[in-house]
Amino acid sequence: MNQTVFAPWDDPNATPLIRFQNVTKRFGEFTAIDDLTLDIYAQEFFALLGPSGCGKTTMMRMLAGFETVTEGRIELAGQDIGPVPPNERAVNMMFQSYALFPHLSVWENIAFGLRRDRKTKGEITARVEEMLKLVRLEKFAQRKPHQISGGQRQRVALARSLAKAPKLLLLDEPLGALDKKLRQDTQFELMDIQETTGTTFVIVTHDQEEAMTVASRVAVMDEGRIMQVATPAAIYEYPNSVYVADFIGDVNIIEGRASPSGDEEYKLDWTEGQAPVLAKSQATFSEGQEAHLAIRPEKIRISTEKPDDAVNAMQGKVLDIAYLGNLSTYHVELPGGQVIKAQTANTRRIARRDITWEDPVWISWSATAGVMLDQ
């Protein structure tokens, strides 16, 4: 069988479902969204990731129709949605606060949107039952929102926004109110629902793990701008800036001056009295250009003996050990005072006893372990 990978963003013939074209949004003097251009494709599970206040909710509200665009335009399925009022958009939103109608039962909350479409009684009943089943709330249909738990409320909100089978579903921090375990279960549930319904999801989150788990692509935002859009794996392995590398997961940043030393290979002079670091890079750097090498802690090996095959190896002493159960992170202080984090998987039951605080250790990594970044 010929399995096709879902990657419409790599297909030059694919037409996006949503196009942000040079969109700027200002609140008075304050620019919340700054000249932003972005394409989102049908059936994507697209995550907007960024610190609080970077404009994620504002983008959602522009898609839903609650905020007008100051400059630029937003297209949905080829149509400029600027003049379309929220009640006429084939877009539904799951609100950050759920916004369930307190005077209506769970059943009536879910039926609310269907009733507005002048559907027949039979159609409405069938659809509501289907939705209740999907979110496993059949038993709670007659309860009022204040009579169910936070997790259940969140599922009602999801069912209500899915009931009209929108082209596009917007989820604004949908899982913010849940504890970690329930949150992970719900993430998988969301992915399931997204797959069965084929709806395009745009999810806002400030939790990078959540974005990495659910999304087909992730956009990392900062102060109203998009820093990078890519698949979770690409964002993690090939961040395009120190900001993105630092935002997604843990990272060591080594600053220095690059000098070419062969085919796509550079030496990075990073501190006096230490050998330069060797790194491969597809991006080109000129002689003496400032560069940052970003290396994930799990790409750094830690050992008591000097490894003889490593391209980059240096000695330091263990400052701190963070035991996380499945992983241990070692903070290793180099002679110059820099601290490098190295992570190892705890595959054996008894943690490695041969490395402990204050121990002199060697850390090493290959030339392809990190990414060289110019900003």
Partner 1 sequence: MKRMSWFNVTSLTLGFAFLYLPMLVLIFYSFNASKLVTVWAGFSTRWYGELLQNEAFLDAAWVTLKVAVISSSIATVLGTMAAYVLVRGGRFLGRTLFSGMIYAPLVMPEVITGLSLLLLFIGIGLDRGVLTIVLAHTTFSMCYVSVVVSSRLVSFDRSLEEAALDLGSTPFEAFRLVTLPIIAPAVISGWLLAFTLSLDDLVIASFTAGPAATTLPIKIFSAVRLGVSPEINALSTIMILIVTVGVVTASLVSKRNALRAQNEVQAAERAAA
Ligand X SMILES: Nc1ncnc2c1ncn2[C@@H]1O[C@H](COP(=O)(O)OP(=O)(O)O)[C@@H](O)[C@H]1O
Q: State the nearest-atom distance from the C-beta of 50 to ligand X, in Å.
A: 6
Q: State the nearest-atom distance from the C-beta of 155 to partner 1, in Å.
A: 12
Residue 54 interacts with ligand X (CB under 6 A)? yes
Residue 53 interacts with ligand X (CB under 6 A)? yes
For residue 15, the Cα-to-chain-centroid distance in whole angstroms is 23
Tell which one of 19, 25, 155, 160 touches partner 1 (CB under 8 A): 160
d(CA 216, CA 48): 11
Residue with smaller CB distance to Mg ion, 111 or 171: 171
Residue 32 interacts with ligand X (CB under 6 A)? yes
Binding track over 35-64 against partner 1, x by CB under 8 A: -----------------------------x
Binding track over 175-214 against partner 1, x by CB under 8 A: -xx-------------------------------------
CA distances (Å), origin 145, targets 109, 156, 293, 339: 9, 9, 51, 50
Residue 97 interacts with partner 1 (CB under 8 A)? yes
Instruction: Kindly state the number of chain residues that form the binding site for ligand X, as judged by CB under 6 A.
Output: 11
Q: Which residue stretch of 30-38, 129-137, 144-152, 347-355 sits at the interface with partner 1 (rule: CB under 8 A)? A: 144-152
- Partner touching 150 among ligand X, partner 1, Mg ion, none, CB below 5 to 8 Å by kind: partner 1
Q: Which residue stretch of 27-35, 77-85, 296-304, 344-352 sits at the interface with ligand X (rule: CB under 6 A)? A: 27-35
Residue 87 interacts with partner 1 (CB under 8 A)? yes
Residue with smaller CB distance to ligand X, 52 or 196: 52
Residues 285, 287, 289, 292, Cα dihedral to 10°: 60
Q: State the nearest-atom distance from the C-beta of 287 to ligand X, in Å.
A: 40
* DSSP state string for 143-185: S-GGGS-HHHHHHHHHHHHHTT--SEEEEESTTTTS-HHHHHH
d(CA 266, CA 6): 35
Residue 52 interacts with ligand X (CB under 6 A)? yes
- Partner touching 98 among ligand X, partner 1, Mg ion, none, CB below 5 to 8 Å by kind: partner 1
d(CA 169, CA 114): 16
Residue 130 interacts with partner 1 (CB under 8 A)? no
Positions that interact with Mg ion (CB under 5 A) = 57
65 contacts 85 by C-beta, under 8 angstroms: yes
Closest CA to 89 of 123, 58, 66: 66
Helix or strand holding residue 56 (H, E): helix 56-64
| Sequence-ordered list of residues with C-beta below 8 angstroms from that of 209, at least 6 positions apart, any chain | none
Q: Which residue stretch of 24-32, 104-112, 272-280, 308-316 sits at the interface with ligand X (rule: CB under 6 A)? A: 24-32
Backbone angles phi, psi at 277, to 5 degrees: -90, 140
d(CA 109, CA 231): 35
d(CA 128, CA 110): 6
Residue 364 interacts with ligand X (CB under 6 A)? no
66 contacts 126 by C-beta, under 8 angstroms: no
d(CA 286, CA 283): 10
Sequence letter at residue 122: G
Q: Which residue stretch of 51-59, 68-76, 131-139, 362-370 sits at the interface with ligand X (rule: CB under 6 A)? A: 51-59
Residue 92 interacts with partner 1 (CB under 8 A)? yes
Residues making contact with partner 1 (CB under 8 A): 64-66, 85-88, 91-93, 95, 97-103, 112-113, 116-117, 145-146, 150, 153, 160-161, 164, 176-177
Residues making contact with ligand X (CB under 6 A): 27, 30, 32, 50, 52-58
